[in-house]
Amino acid sequence: MRRLVVVVAWSSLLAVACACKSRGAGGAGGGTGTGTGTGAPSDCDGARANVEALYRADATAAHANEPDAAKAAQLIDEQTADNVAMVMTDCAADPARVAGCARAARSVAELESSCLIPLDDTGSEGERLRTP
């Protein structure tokens, strides 16, 4: 079970990293965040429900053709939990940037491209996800 969680987490990071490389090398961003967060970690709690709904819908669509309903439900729950944890980690690190934007996001793509802390090309973002 733990191995599946690690594989899903790394797969998610890889997908986001590959998407981010096509954005070019730095410069002024074109983010669409709302900037409505106060910067307090408690702001993240207000974003959690929207983040979970977005990732649950995304995971449900991804596993719609799974013939085993129980397996699909388990995969959806695990994928949703992993992705929500990723966003909440970013939110805890920078609530002023992430919370308001995540609360207003209308798609996973918008959330990941506009709200989250950008991944770097060296892969050091994986260090913060490792458990002791």
Q: What is the pLDDT of residues 44-80, one digit of tens each?
A: 999 999 999 999 999 999 999 999 999 999 999 999 9
Question: Do the beta carbons of residue 58 and residue 123 sit within 8 Å?
Answer: no
Positive or negative CA dihedral for 50, 54, 14, 63?
A: positive
**What is residue 51's predicted lDDT score, i.e. its pLDDT?**
97
DSSP string, 42-107: THHHHHHHHHHHHHHHHHHHHTTT-S-HHHHHHHHHHHHHHHHHHHHHHHHH-HHHHHHHHHH--S
Q: What is the pLDDT of residue 42?
A: 80
Q: Which residues contact 12 (CB under 8 A, 6 or more apart)?
A: 82, 83, 86
In terms of Cβ atoms closer than 10 Å to its own Cβ (0-12, 13-18, 19+), residue 7 is exposed
**Which of 39 and 114 is assigned the larger pLDDT?**
114
Lowest mean pLDDT across 2-16, 78-92, 113-127 = 2-16
Q: Give me the pLDDT at residue 26, please.
A: 39
Q: Is residue 27 part of a domain?
A: no
pTM of the model: 0.64
Has residue 96 been placed in a domain? yes
Q: What percent of the chain has pLDDT over 70?
A: 61
Q: In this structure, is residue 28 part of a structural domain?
A: no
Tell me if 30 is assigned to some domain: no
- Using the structure block, give the residue that is written with the tokens 């207000």: 46
List the domain range (segments joined by +) for residue 84. Answer: 2-21+35-129
Distance, in Å, from the CA atom of 97 to the CA atom of 35, rounded to the nearest integer, reads 7
Residue 41 forms part of a structural domain: yes
pLDDT tens-place string over residues 104-121: 999 999 999 999 988 777
Is 76 within a domain?
Answer: yes
Q: What amino acid is encoded at 113 in this protein?
A: S
Quote the pLDDT of residue 3.
54
